[in-house]
Chains A and B, each alone.
Chain A
Amino acid sequence: MTFIEYQALTPSQKASYKIKEFFSLLPGRFKSFFAAIGKFFKNLGLKFVGGCKGYGSRFTKGDFATKLSYIVMGFGNFTRGQVGKGIAFLAAEILYISYLAGFGLKWFDKFDTLGTELTHQVIDEVTGRPKSVMGDNSMLILLYGTLTILLTLVFIAVYIANTKAAYEAEQSVKAGKKNLTLKEELQEFLDGKYHVTMLSLPVLLISVFTILPLVFMILIAFTNYDKQHTPPGQLFTWVGLDTFRDVFKVTEGASKGYTFWELTKWTVVWAIFATFSNYIIGMIIALMINKKSIKFKSLWRTLFVITIAVPQFVSLLLMNQILQDDGVVNVIRGYMGLAPISFFNSTALVARVTVIIINMWVGVPYTILQTTGILMNIPEDLYESARIDGATPVVQFFQITLPYMIFVTTPYLIQSFVGNINNFNVIYLLTGGGPNKNPNLYQAGETDLLVTWLFKLTMNSNDYNTAAAVGILVFIVCATLSLITFNMSKSSRNEEEFS
């Protein structure tokens, strides 16, 4: 379709054309996403190689001060008027070395075996009473060893930057230029390099408290850290991909593999139902509240929104109580002469439907809040032309409102889809994973999601490695989904238009 043809369309045709285009391009975007991942790693590699390449040539080309910077960091900058920068580099070196000497090295040393000395008890000769002799703690070795490795990587980057800075300072002196003073450099951090100022604190916090534990957890999936190898009394060690093999191996009867597939199926079903039920019901309620002729809008909205303000664990524990076999819902059913329903402890189907419905109670208010604004922005002429065609409100909803909203809010939808895959609270507090009526599931009940299962694996049966492996698999799915949507959403593609 040419541009002129497009211009000739009515607004509603334009919208539907755009929507169609959006969905037909989806597969292609998947493809380009994986291409982008490949490119990402290629670039990372190139950057690394590039950094190393200059390393040698700068050394041979540089003068004495630059060469000395390869050992005493910051020396080159220090002698060329950049005292502050020089001291900063030197401080980094001293910090790193004292860290290694005082702490890092002894943990890193055992990183390959994760410890060999068992903790045990001996009888004290004098008192005749037992005392314990501490051995290695595999978990601490893994954790602090990982910390050391990450810090080393950071240090290498700083070190390379140091050689580069020394060389550049030398070149600019040779060229007769004056190097920036400390004050000027600092000022640069408020303007040209403002992103460094803005990002360094969050990045530091995230690195230490998110990335490091994350790497630790990923590494655990490759060890035999389970109930038979729990520190400090026992050691665990590297086992490669065995854990993943367990997770994927489906055998006859009860097994981790069977449980993984069963829970994956239910997790997907749950995520789809939980996401769309919230989305559609929330939108319909928002439409009703915002209908022009409806009065007391803020009252209606408050009625729904008030549930958001109650902490979720309270409202979920409350719901659990209300829906017990002898809870208030069954009491009311009794008044009406109906037989009580066992919401959480009869069949899997009843429990699953119950959690999806309760999840609506929890989630719909968010949808109401989030979609109200956008619903107001749907071009009125879309509806007008539909009304002229004699479309009923229901038809209008499914032919105009829903497609338009899905089109506009895809990133939000995917976000809540991912959020529901990881929706720990609702399942954990409401059913605790029950009913436990499928004897073939390993340490799981029939409403357990993968994420609550991995919680049980860590807390109840201490299968840390299995839990870590499941966590990684869940993560890969969620990360792929959200990267694709984020990168294809209009906001990401068009953001460069601003600059």
Chain B
Amino acid sequence: MIKSYRLSRMISDIVIYVILGGLGLIWVSPLVWLLFHSFRKEGGVSVPYVFPKEYTLDNYKALFTNTDVFDYPRWFLNTFVVAVFACIISTLSVLMVSYAFSRLRFKSRKMFINIGMVLGMFPGFMTMIALYYLLKAMNLTQTLPALVICYSAGAGLGFAISKGFFDTIPRALDEAATIDGATRNQIFWKIILPISKPILVYTVLTSFIGPWCDFILVKIIMGDNRDNYTVALGLQRMTDKEYKQTYFKQFLAGSVIVAIPITVLFLKMQNYYVEGVTAGGVKG
């Protein structure tokens, strides 16, 4: 009896290993393809075989030396700067809004929460023109601060997960601090924030990644000012009709370089991310 139980468990484990291995392969192989072909020497966009025939570093070198048309290093830096500032403002907004909604009680609070819930659900494309002319009225178009504003202004609407997280912190903590004479301001900075590391990391991560992925808004805002493009727009342009033939391999190399820092960051912070999203996103 016990033997057969062990046997069946072993079989089921082996089956699981096989399935996981197979699925893992499926999940990783496109990225492996990306990595290999970013070193490909021959051919243009597609080649009729799986692995490159010749390998070279030229695609990477060209990214950093051949900057007349695609100024990759500059765009990388732009994106980094925008991402850092947008991330700071977003994180502050999100934490402030969710703290207010979670731990403070005031008039029309429920109304604010409901409005906040739905505002983020409009498809954004129609509002881009309006956004452009608003920024133009402030003399900000074609500048990096405009991007920072665009990526962080609406961040406060993404309060749901961190509000959920704050909700799980016992209110007794606040009450005890109030009795000791702490103001709400002090409670926020000295008590709540220090124990909110998972949600802090989660918010920082998600808002930092945002600017690396958008290529639609940035195109409208920057217009012909290529100096202020971001990496995402630059990479997307490399796949445009007129450039694709020449730049596709550089596109692959550029993608790898973008993916590396985010991957490292993500893998390091993974546990916080999981903790934050589990506690905040889906509570019983």
Contacts and interface: CB of A to CB of B under 8 A. Distances in A.
Contacts of B171: 498-499
A303 B31 CA distance: 11
B13 A307 contact: no
Contact of B274 (A303, A369, A467, A483): A369
Interface stretch (A86-94, A213-221, A258-266, A440-448): A213-221
A16 to B, nearest CB: 15
Nearest to B116: A206
A7 to B, nearest CB: 19
A332 B25 CA distance: 15
A490 B120 CA distance: 22
Nearest to A197: B185
B199 interface: no
A370 B281 contact: yes
B48 A305 contact: no
Contacts of A210: 119-120, 127, 153-154, 157
Q: Main SS of chain B's interface residues?
A: helix
B126 A308 contact: no
B283 A491 contact: yes
B63 interface: no
Interface string B144-174: 0000011011111100100010010011000
Contacts of A199: 96-97, 100, 112
B266 A205 contact: no
Given A143-B133, A293-B13, A321-B45, A309 B262 contact: yes
Contacts of B278: 370, 372-374
A319 B263 CA distance: 18
Contact of B263 (A187, A310, A372): A310
Contact of A482 (B24, B117, B273): B117
Interface residues of B, number: 97
Given A208-B153, A321-B45, A213 B20 contact: no
Given A190-B185, A314-B255, A475-B121, A206 B156 contact: yes
B221 interface: no
A315 B100 CA distance: 37
A308 B100 CA distance: 31
Q: DSSP majority for the A interface?
A: helix
Contacts of B31: 306-307, 310, 315
B176 interface: no
Contact of A322 (B33, B121, B212, B262): B33
Given A209-B154, A331-B50, A370-B282, A216 B130 contact: yes
Given A139-B129, A412-B282, A313 B183 contact: no
B255 A483 contact: no
Contacts of B100: 194-195, 198-199
Contact of A464 (B102, B126, B164): B126
A471 B48 CA distance: 42
Interface string B196-237: 000000000000010011010000000000000000100110
Interface in B93-150: 93, 96-97, 99-100, 102, 104-106, 109, 111-112, 114, 116-123, 125-131, 133-134, 137, 149-150
A311 B157 CA distance: 22
B156 A194 contact: no
B77 interface: no
A318 interface: yes
A327 B149 CA distance: 40
Interface stretch (A127-135, A244-252, A346-354, A451-459): A451-459
A408 interface: yes
Interface string A59-99: 00000000000000000000000000000000000000000
Interface string A30-66: 0000000000100100000000000000000000000
Given A217-B130, A306-B263, A418 B121 contact: yes
- Of the candidates B125, B160, B215, the one having the most CB atoms from chain A within 10 angstroms of its own CB is B125
Nearest to A364: B27
Interface stretch (A154-162, A172-180, A269-277, A284-292): A284-292
A201 interface: yes
B59 to A, nearest CB: 15
A418 B267 CA distance: 28
A418 B46 CA distance: 36
Contacts of B255: 310-311, 314, 318
B34 interface: yes
B96 A313 contact: no
Contacts of B111: 40, 43
Contact of A313 (B126, B232, B282, B284): B232
Contacts of A293: 9, 13
A212 interface: yes
A43 B50 CA distance: 65
A306 B268 CA distance: 11
A468 B104 CA distance: 36
A390 to B, nearest CB: 13
A157 to B, nearest CB: 12
A135 B263 CA distance: 52
A327 B23 CA distance: 20
B262 A306 contact: no
A462 to B, nearest CB: 11
27 contacts: A144-B137, A191-B184, A198-B97, A198-B99, A205-B156, A206-B119, A211-B119, A213-B134, A214-B119, A217-B130, A289-B20, A305-B267, A306-B28, A307-B28, A309-B259, A313-B213, A321-B46, A331-B49, A370-B274, A370-B277, A408-B283, A408-B284, A451-B123, A454-B123, A454-B126, A458-B126, A471-B125
Interface of A: 40, 43, 139-140, 143-144, 147, 187, 190-192, 194-195, 197-199, 201-203, 205-206, 208-214, 216-217, 220, 285, 288-289, 291, 293-294, 300-315, 317-319, 321-322, 324, 326-328, 331-332, 335, 361, 364-365, 369-370, 372-374, 377, 393, 408-409, 411-412, 415, 418, 422, 424, 451, 454-455, 458-459, 464, 467-468, 471, 474-475, 478-479, 482-483, 486-487, 490-491, 495, 498-499
- The 6 A-B pairs with the shortest beta carbon distances in the complex, nearest first, are A373-B278, A202-B156, A213-B127, A209-B153, A213-B130, A309-B263
